[in-house]
Chains A and B, each alone.
Chain A
């Protein structure tokens, strides 16, 4: 399977704990995106990488959130001091440089903060 892979699929944590999610994009894709989706809403953009460079971050992204993409391959998204409002589906997507918005999404990581 050469699709976008996200781990873990589900994460339950207590408020105040740190969590980290991993995304493995389609290998030949230069661009990698993180989105967040809550119930009844569409995916909301968080951040975007081109190769290893983080080129854009949403103004809505709290400083408790940090993302990395070392060596331009897999990416991690860390949330520090989680809050109940962080409960959401975190989606990773990748695309080639030539894309005009056509992204390939993973199945997401469902985060529940108790």
Chain B
């Protein structure tokens, strides 16, 4: 039973447009939410995070939104660049779980020039 769900295996976007990646979670005990990016033949790289006390966190072109009532978070990339093409993993963590992240299956983002 997946606790973190990324229902879109892939997303294709034109360069310069917005990319929106979505994630749903089931456990309301999660209090920290993260996005990782992974290029082929490399390990995942931490991208951005948000705690449960916030509903938005922004870092340059990347913004994460959290909707606790819907148990949903999203990552917005504006403007999208070809170098953003990668697999994006949503992850959740909790103080009760020693902040060990639980990952979704990932969404493969392709940004076309």
User: A111 in the interface, Cβ–Cβ < 8 Å?
Assistant: no
**Contact assessment for A43 and B44 in the assembled complex, using a CB-CB cutoff below 8 Å:** yes
Q: Known: A42-B105, A43-B103, A100-B32. Is A105-B93 also a contact (CB below 8 A)?
A: no
Q: Is B25 an interface residue (CB 8 A)?
A: no
The answer on a CB contact under 8 Å between B43 and A108 is yes
Task: Categorize the interface residue count of chain B.
Answer: 20 to 34
Contact of B93 among A40, A100, A106, A108 (CB under 8 A): A100
Q: Which of B11-19, B45-53, B61-69, B78-86 contacts A (4 or more CB under 8 A)?
A: B45-53
User: Is A103 a contact partner of B46 (Cβ separation < 8 A)?
Assistant: yes
Which residues from 35 to 61 on chain A have a C-beta closer than 8 Å to any C-beta of chain B? 35, 40-45, 48, 55-56
B41, B101, B102: residue with the most chain A Cβ atoms closer than 10 Å? B101
B59-113 residues with Cβ-Cβ distance < 8 A to A are 89, 91-93, 98-106
Closest to A35 in B: B103
B21 at the interface (CB under 8 A from A): no
Q: Which residue of B lies closest to A104 (CB)?
A: B46
Contact of A93 among B9, B43, B89, B105 (CB under 8 A): B43
Q: How far is the CB of B18 from chain A (nearest CB, A)?
A: 24
In the complex with contacts A33-B100, A42-B105, A101-B43 CB distance below 8 A: no
Whether B44 and A105, one on each chain, are in contact in the complex, defined by CB atoms closer than 8 angstroms, is: yes
Of B6, B43, B98, chain A has the most CB atoms within 10 Å of the CB of B43
Tell me whether A107 is interfacial, beta carbon within 8 Å: yes
With A100-B93, A101-B32, A101-B93 in contact, is A42–B103 under 8 Å at CB? yes
The smallest beta-carbon distance between A49 and chain B, in angstroms, is 11
1/0 per position for A84-114, CB-CB distance to B under 8 A? 0000000101000001111111111000000
Contact B98 A48 (CB under 8 A): yes
Given contacts A56-B98, A100-B49, contact A105 B43 (CB under 8 A): yes
Query: By the criterion CB–CB under 8 Å, are A103 and B98 in contact?
Result: no
B51 neighbours in A (Cβ, 8 Å): 100
